[in-house]
Amino acid sequence: MANVLENAISLVERTGEILNFGKRFQGQAIIERLRIPDKVIMFRATVQLDRSGLKVFNCYRIQHSDVLGPYKGGIRFHPEVDTDEVTALALLMTLKTAVVNIPYGGAKGGITLDPKMLSVTELERLVRKYTFRLVNDIGPNIDIPAPDMGTSAREMAWIFDEYRKHRDSALGVVTGKPVSLGGSLGRKEATGRGVVCAMLEAAKDLNLKNFTVAVQGFGNVGSHAALYCFEQGIKVTAVQDIAGGVCNPEGLNVPELVKYCDQTGGVVDFPGGKPLDDIVAYPCDVLMPCAKESMITAENAGQIKAKLIVEGANGPTTEEADRILDERKILVVPDILANAGGVIVSYFEWVQNREGFYWEEEDVNNRLFTRLRKAYASVKETAAAKKVTLRQAAYCIALEKITQAMISRGVQ
Ligand code: NAD
What pLDDT is stored for residue 407 in this prediction? 84
247 pLDDT tier (thresholds 50, 70, 90): very high
Query: What is each CA distance from 138 to 146, 199, 331, in whole angstroms?
Result: 12, 34, 38
SS3 label, residue 308: strand
What pLDDT is stored for residue 24 in this prediction? 78
Fold of 2-172: Rossmann fold (3.40.50)
What pLDDT is stored for residue 412 in this prediction? 53
What rounded mean pLDDT belongs to the chain? 95
Query: Which stretches within 328-360 are classed as H helix?
Result: 335-338, 341-355
22 pLDDT tier (thresholds 50, 70, 90): confident
What pLDDT is stored for residue 187 in this prediction? 96
Closest CA to 59 of 140, 132, 141: 132
CA angle 368, 212, 277 (to 5 degrees): 110
What pLDDT is stored for residue 157 in this prediction? 98
**Contact between residue 258 and residue 227 where contact means Cβ atoms under 8 Å apart:** yes
| Tens-place pLDDT, residues 78-90 | 999 999 999 999 9
3 pLDDT tier (thresholds 50, 70, 90): confident
Range name among 21-35, 128-142, 185-199 with the lowest pLDDT average: 21-35
Phi and psi, residue 235, nearest 5°: -75, 120
- For the cut 60, the answer to whether the pLDDT of residue 27 exceeds it is no
**Contact between residue 61 and residue 127 where contact means Cβ atoms under 8 Å apart:** no
What pLDDT is stored for residue 26 in this prediction? 62
Neighbours of 3 (CB within 10 A): 17
Residues 12-30: what's their mean pLDDT?
80
What pLDDT is stored for residue 244 in this prediction? 97
What pLDDT is stored for residue 238 in this prediction? 98
Residues 95-110: what's their mean pLDDT?
98
- For the cut 80, the answer to whether the pLDDT of residue 29 exceeds it is no
Q: Is the shortest distance between the CB of 198 and ligand 1 below 6 Å?
A: no
409 C-alpha to ligand 1 centroid (Å): 36
Residues of the chain with CATH 3.40.50.720: 188-333
**CATH number of the domain at 188-333, please?**
3.40.50.720
Query: What is each CA distance from 230 to 26, 159, 373, 377, in whole angstroms?
Result: 51, 34, 20, 25
**Contact between residue 327 and residue 384 where contact means Cβ atoms under 8 Å apart:** no
Which strands make up the sheet holding 274-276, listed edge to edge?
Answer: 274-276, 244-247, 235-241, 212-216, 286-289, 308-310, 331-333
Q: How far apart are CA 347 and CA 190, in angstroms?
A: 11
411 pLDDT tier (thresholds 50, 70, 90): low
* Index of the ligand 1 atom closest to the CA of residue 267: 9
Nearest CA to ligand 1 atom 5: 219
Which strands make up the sheet holding 106-112, listed edge to edge?
Answer: 39-48, 54-65, 106-112, 71-78, 143-147
Q: Is the shortest distance between the CB of 63 and ligand 1 below 6 Å?
A: no
- For the cut 90, the answer to whether the pLDDT of residue 71 exceeds it is yes
SS3 label, residue 348: helix
DSSP 8-state class, residue 183: P
**Contact between residue 260 and residue 267 where contact means Cβ atoms under 8 Å apart:** yes
Nearest CA to ligand 1 atom 14: 242
Q: How far apart are CA 231 and CA 237, in angstroms?
A: 14
Strands 244-247 and 235-241, sheet pairing: antiparallel
Distance of CA 41 to the CA centre of its chain: 21
Query: What is each CA distance from 218 to 82, 98, 243, 376, in whole angstroms?
Result: 23, 28, 11, 25
112 pLDDT tier (thresholds 50, 70, 90): very high
Q: How far apart are CA 94 and CA 92, in angstroms?
A: 5
Q: Which residues pair with 63 in a beta bridge?
A: 39, 107
- For the cut 70, the answer to whether the pLDDT of residue 307 exceeds it is yes
* Index of the ligand 1 atom closest to the CA of residue 340: 43
Residues 1-23: what's their mean pLDDT?
83
| Tens-place pLDDT, residues 384-394 | 999 999 999 99
31 pLDDT tier (thresholds 50, 70, 90): confident
Residues 154-183: what's their mean pLDDT?
97
Residues of the chain with CATH 3.40.50.10860: 2-172
Residue type, 300: N
User: Could you give the residue numbers annotated as active site?
Assistant: 108
Residues 229-250: what's their mean pLDDT?
97
* Index of the ligand 1 atom closest to the CA of residue 279: 20
380 pLDDT tier (thresholds 50, 70, 90): very high
216 pLDDT tier (thresholds 50, 70, 90): very high
What pLDDT is stored for residue 8 in this prediction? 87
410 C-alpha to ligand 1 centroid (Å): 38
- For the cut 60, the answer to whether the pLDDT of residue 1 exceeds it is no
183 C-alpha to ligand 1 centroid (Å): 21
